[in-house]
Amino acid sequence: MKSYRIALIPGDGIGPDVVAAAWQVAEAAAGKENVALAAIRYPWSCDYYLETGAMMPPDGIETLRGHDAILLGAVGWPATVPDSVSLHGLLLPIRKAFVQYANVRPHRLLPGVEGPLKAERFDILCIRENTEGEYSGAGGRVHQGGANEVAVETAIFTRAGVERILRFGFEQARQRTGRLASVTKSNAQKHSMVFWDEITRQLSAEYPDVEVTSYHIDAMAARMVMAPESLDVVVASNLFGDILTDLGAAIQGGLGFAASANIDPGRTAPSMFEPVHGSAPDIMGKGIANPLATIWSAAMMLEHLGEGAASARIMRAMEATTRSGIGTRFGRDATGAITEAVIEAIERE
Ligand code: NAD
Ligand code: IPM
Ligand code: MN
């Protein structure tokens, strides 16, 4: 029997609810395939910070390294801990330390879910650069507090970093419909984004079977709303990818549906799976958080681990659930009811 050790980091807000849901579903699907999943739970969160003064212990990264994968809920509770502290203390260091440079975020409508658009048939795979760019953390403040105060946030793009994410995008496009959209803002950002466009052109010579088109981020935002069916794989920098994937979540019916995988394609360290959404303070404790984004992320985790059959069981069960109307409209079905429906669909097969 194959077995995997999974680090669970439920985190803040609705994180614990959606991770508990996804874990139950993952266990049910794995059980059907004779795969054993062991959960090792880490309470790292804003509450943990308030107790200990850190979002995770000093050896947190080394502790996580010993796992096959990480399933995370959400990090951030701005009422008690500034986001700049919590996110830079837990989520972002994991992505960087484990070189999870590809943040893969699928956007499509589950059956029975009505998105806000007329378009029903779109299937977009956003590939977000996940370790550098606008999230480098470089910069600072000068003349602090004075009338001449300046805040500098330096975006860092390395050739190696841009090349590897674009290659990942080209490879994904090759496995899908052969179309790649590369997103920049090279009309305004004349260093980094011109560099990105240049590398895109250079690499395209190596992938003659992939049709690559460069878009500006503003035009891409409009295209995702007006003509999402015209897109297949979309590759973007860290910040642009962050924004586009909340937009992608919106067109697929809401943030409760959008899944993500933070992948180290080199497989030197565990990859991390989490919903696109955050801790949702506004609905925390109401029992109405949609768990499907995290359940879908758990399916991506099993796929990444090589357990494609268990992953496909989750996807089929989610689709059966939404096809029957459960979980399709925000606020109508409780987190627990949606989760039970998915587990029942797994058991039924
Ligand atoms: P958010 O994603 O938490 O919430 C945005 C909106 O989406 C809210 O109205 C919320 O109720 C709704 N929503 C989110 N998840 C939902 C779900 N599963 N079902 C139904 N509705 C859902 O974004 P925010 O409010 O900007 O951020 C809240 C906190 O979460 C902040 O601390 C932020 O930094 C953090 N955050 C963390 C992550 C992460 O851990 N990956 C991602 C985004 C935001
Ligand atoms: C996401 C989140 C994070 C990001 C925040 C919380 C730092 O919005 O995973 O999309 O921007 O990467
Ligand atoms: Mn985001």
Q: Are residues 93 and 150 in the same domain?
A: no
Residue 1 counted as domain residue: yes
Look at ligand 1, atom 31, and give the residue with the nearest C-alpha: 76
Question: How many structural domains are present in the chain?
Answer: 2
Domain interval for residue 150:
116-126+145-251
Ligand 2 atom 1 nearest Cα: 276
Please tell me the distance between residue 64's alpha carbon and the centre of ligand 1 in angstroms.
24
**Is 231 in the same domain as 283?**
no
Q: Tell me, yes or no, if the pTM score tops 0.90.
A: yes
Ligand lying closest to the C-alpha of residue 134: 2
Q: How remote is the CA of residue 283 from the centroid of ligand 1, in Å?
A: 9
242 with 121, same domain: the answer is: yes
Phi, psi of 152 (to 5 degrees): -120, 130
279 lines ligand 1 (CB under 6 A): yes
Is 135 inside any structural domain? Answer: no
Would you call 140 helix, strand, or coil by DSSP? strand
The torsion angles phi and psi of 163, rounded to 5 degrees, stand at -60, -45
Check residue 300 and give its pLDDT.
98
Same domain assignment for residues 120 and 218: yes
Judge whether 80 and 50 are in contact, CB under 8 Å: yes
- Domain stop point among 251, 278, 300: 251
Is there a single domain that holds both residue 269 and residue 294?
yes
In this structure, the answer to whether residues 91 and 19 fall within a common structural domain is: yes
Whether 345 contacts 317, CB under 8 Å: yes
Report how far ligand 3's centroid is from the alpha carbon of 125 (Å): 15
Q: What is the pLDDT of residue 118?
A: 77
200 in a structural domain: yes
Residue 139 falls inside a structural domain: no
pLDDT category at 1 given cuts 50, 70, 90 is confident
What is the best residue among 91, 134, 246 to mutate for testing ligand 2's pocket, by most ligand atoms within 8 Å of CB?
Answer: 91
Residue 137 belongs to some domain of the structure: no
Q: Domain boundary residue among 228, 251, 274? A: 251
| Residue-wise pLDDT tens digits, 132-162 | 999 999 999 999 999 999 999 999 999 999 9
Measured from CB, residues less than 6 Å from any atom of ligand 2 are 76, 87, 91, 242, 276, 278
- Domain assignment of residue 61, yes or no: yes
Distance 30 CA to ligand 1 centre (A): 28
Residue 121 sits in the same domain as residue 236: yes
Average pLDDT value for the chain: 97
Instruction: Indicate whether 48 and 72 sit together in one domain.
Output: yes
The pair phi, psi for residue 129, each rounded to 5°, is -65, 140
pLDDT band at residue 268 using 50, 70 and 90 as cut-offs: very high
What average pLDDT score do residues 254-258 get? 98
CA–centroid distance, 231 to ligand 1, in Å, is 26
User: What integer pLDDT is reported at residue 119 of this predicted model?
Assistant: 73
Cα–ligand 1 centroid distance for 189 (angstroms): 29
The pLDDT value given to residue 82: 98
Contact by Cβ (8 Å): 143, 257: no
The answer to whether the CB of 335 falls within 8 A of the CB of 17 is yes
Q: Are residues 5 and 30 in the same domain?
A: yes
Identify which ligand lies nearest to the alpha carbon of 338: 1
* d(C-alpha 274, C-alpha 294), whole Å: 6
Same domain, 247 and 286: no
Helix axis angle for 335-348 and 292-304, nearest 10°, is 40
Structural domain includes residue 134? no
91 C-alpha to center of ligand 3: Å? 12
Residue of 46, 255, 257, 274 to mutate, ligand 1, most atoms within 8 A of C-beta: 255
Residue 121 and residue 184 in one domain: yes
Residue at 166 is within a domain: yes
**Atom of ligand 1 at shortest distance to CA of 73?**
40
From 227, 251, 275, give the residue that closes a domain. 251
57-83: pLDDT as tens digits: 999 999 999 999 999 999 999 999 999
CATH number for the domain including 298?
A: 3.40.718.10
Secondary structure of 144-198 in HEC code, one letter for each residue = CCCCCCEEEEEEECCHHHHHHHHHHHHHHHHHCCCEEEEEECCCCCCCHHHHHHH
Tens digits of per-residue pLDDT, 160-200?
A: 999 999 999 999 999 999 999 999 999 999 999 999 999 99
Which CATH number is 244's domain given?
A: 3.40.50.2300
With bands split at pLDDT 50, 70 and 90, how would you rate the model's confidence at 46? very high
Q: 324 CA distance to ligand 2 centroid (A)?
A: 32
Q: Which of 279, 295, 333, 338 has the most ligand 1 atoms within 8 A of CB, as the residue to mutate?
A: 279
Q: Tens digit of pLDDT for each residue in 76-121?
A: 999 999 999 999 999 999 999 999 999 999 999 999 999 999 777 8
Of the bound ligands, which one is closest to the alpha carbon of residue 128?
Answer: 2
User: What is the position in ligand 1's atom list of the atom closest to the CA of 282?
Assistant: 11
- Do residue 200 and residue 292 come from a single domain? no
| Residue 340 confidence (pLDDT) above 80 | yes
Sheet architecture: strand order including 2-11: 35-41, 2-11, 69-74, 271-275, 259-263, 102-108, 123-129, 233-236, 179-184, 211-216
Q: How confident is the model at residue 302 (pLDDT cuts 50, 70, 90)?
A: very high
pLDDT confidence of residue 120: 75
Tell me the backbone φ, ψ of residue 233, rounded to 5 degrees: -90, 130
Please tell me the predicted confidence (pLDDT) of residue 4. Answer: 98
Contact 102, 265 (CB under 8 A): yes
